[in-house]
Structure 1
Amino acid sequence: MLETVREEKAGPAVLVEILNIAQAWGTSFQWIPSHVSIEGNEIADGLAKLGLQDDAPVFHNRLFMKDAIHRFRSISEQQTTQWYQEYSTEKGKKFYDIQPAFSTKPWYTNVDLPGSDVRLINRLMTGHDFSKFWLARMKLEETEECELCDEPETADHLIMHCPRFGILRSKFDFELQFHSLQDLLKSKNMKVYREVTDFIRQAKLSL
């Protein structure tokens, strides 16, 4: 095809352009029927065979961009996990007990829960809720004690134990499944989470 285009000076525009550029640069095209006995190809064949040997030398090439990005993400995740574990030994122990491994996606990703319920569950997970116990620590309540039980009125006490809500609580399955709010939250069971938020609403608790 190249020979025909060269002789007739006509043909596909791309080939004509290639031949014109080649002629201007003094470049020749040559068809090689076989690579046997051609030095460059013999060297390539030898290197290919060498690469199959167990003791073949390893050549350290520069990383491709996608490999560099993957490596960066891996290092970043390791450092973030280390920070999360170290930070949680001082603060956020309650949440760390529920979520011991750092995740780039929060627990509520693709979960069918209203935003208000997600925020409520998050408060319960961190322990920074609106119970009397927490409000008293923030100097927003005079006492942290439950009016009926004479013990700290925590979210765990209200949801799981306080007899004021015993009849209502008996209507939900979570009462018999878990002994503490912490164990309940660690289950990561969305059906149970929905039960808890329904219970809180029906009990008219401000948490």
Structure 2
Amino acid sequence: MYTDASKGNEGVGIAIALENTNITFKLPNECSIFSAEAIAILKAIETIQTTKHTKFVILSDSLSAIKNIQNKNNPNDISVFIQNQLDEAKTNKKQISIIWIPGHTGIAGNEIADKYAKLAASNKNTTKLNISSYDDFKKAVKTQIRKKWHLLWNDQDTKLNQIKRTTFSWENHKFNRKEETTINRLRIGHSRLTHGYLMSKEEPPTCEGCGTPLTIKHILTECQLYQQERINFNITEILDSLLGPDPAQNRKILNFLKSINLIEQI
């Protein structure tokens, strides 16, 4: 028996090539090629269990899948199923060997399995198996959660949303703790200077220079009191650039705040 798997834009398919017939299945799109190769071996063993013959060789070009099946200490869930099937086969007096062969080297049975695995992946009428590994399922769930989170994020109108347009994480640039805290407060638009009144139950602060409500955006990009300092540090009016993931831009903002003596009030 030759087994193979294929994963592409049209889906995931597996094939088992026997002497006189070929068995194919279509797997869930989230199934990895590693899992698909293992599932192909699993289905081959299940097929063996239904025959009267007692000696079989399963040939696969997936060395990683075979090694995981042989791993008794830390196999994945598909490999555990395979190990259990092999034990059951042994109980039923069936001898099964799983052997690695190099792929795409002209081995006839492997080429046939490869061909039918590709056809299974692209053919919507192929028999479907709702099988995938726990890791594949977990990854798919995380992907869907992230997509939903991204949609919800785009619908929000917050100060942080105006700075960070996506939900993907930003790299930590190894600023010291105070600098990281300052940058994060600037990003969410909340600081002791602009929002300390909430704790003291005072009136919201206004700018000493122009009397407008005091906000992070006003301090960084609008207030004329600090126009010369903005020029000195090449501070633009684009907040998502200044407070985005670029450490050079973040450093400019920190230096700007130090120069106008507001860094300790953020």
TM norm structure 1: 0.58
Provide the residue aligned with 2:250 in structure 1: 193
Flag the structure with higher strand content: 2
Shift of 1:191: 0.7
Provide the residue aligned with 1:149 in structure 2: 210
Provide the residue aligned with 2:126 in structure 1: 58
Alpha-carbon separation, structure 2, partners of 1:150 and 1:55: 68
Q: Report the secondary structure of 1:66's partner residue.
A: helix
Provide the residue aligned with 2:147 in structure 1: 78
Deviations 1:148-180 (A, max 9, x none): 322222222333343443444432122xxx225
Amino acid in the other structure paired with 2:216 = A
Alpha-carbon separation, structure 1, partners of 2:186 and 2:125: 58
What value does the CA root-mean-square deviation take over the aligned residues?
A: 3.6
Provide the residue aligned with 1:99 in structure 2: 164
Q: Give aligned-pair identity as a percent.
A: 19
Shift of 1:195: 1.0
Alpha-carbon separation, structure 1, partners of 2:257 and 2:242: 14
Amino acid in the other structure paired with 1:79 = K
Residue pair 1:146, 1:152 contacting (<8 A) in 2 also: yes
Flag the structure with higher helix content: 1
Equivalent in 173, 190, 202 of residue 259 of structure 2 = 202
Can you give the 5+ residue segments of structure 1 that lack an aligned partner in the other structure? 1-24, 30-43
Residue pairs, 1:37-48, within 5 angstroms: none
Q: Report the secondary structure of 1:102's partner residue.
A: coil
Alpha-carbon separation, structure 1, partners of 2:174 and 2:204: 37
Would the alpha carbon gap of residues 50 and 59 (structure 1) be closer, same or farther in structure 2, given more than 3 Å must change? farther
Provide the residue aligned with 1:126 in structure 2: 188
Amino acid in the other structure paired with 1:68 = F
Residue pair 2:163, 2:239 contacting (<8 A) in 1 also: no
Would the alpha carbon gap of residues 85 and 158 (structure 1) be closer, same or farther in structure 2, given more than 3 Å must change? closer
Q: Report the secondary structure of 1:171's partner residue.
A: helix
Shift of 1:198: 1.4
Provide the residue aligned with 2:136 in structure 1: 67
The size of the alignment, in residue pairs, is: 155
| Residue 223 of structure 2 is aligned to residue 162 of structure 1 | yes
Residue pair 2:160, 2:188 contacting (<8 A) in 1 also: yes
Structure number with the bigger relative contact order (C-alpha 8 A, sep ≥ 6) is 2
Shift of 1:140: 4.3
Residue pair 1:125, 1:185 contacting (<8 A) in 2 also: yes
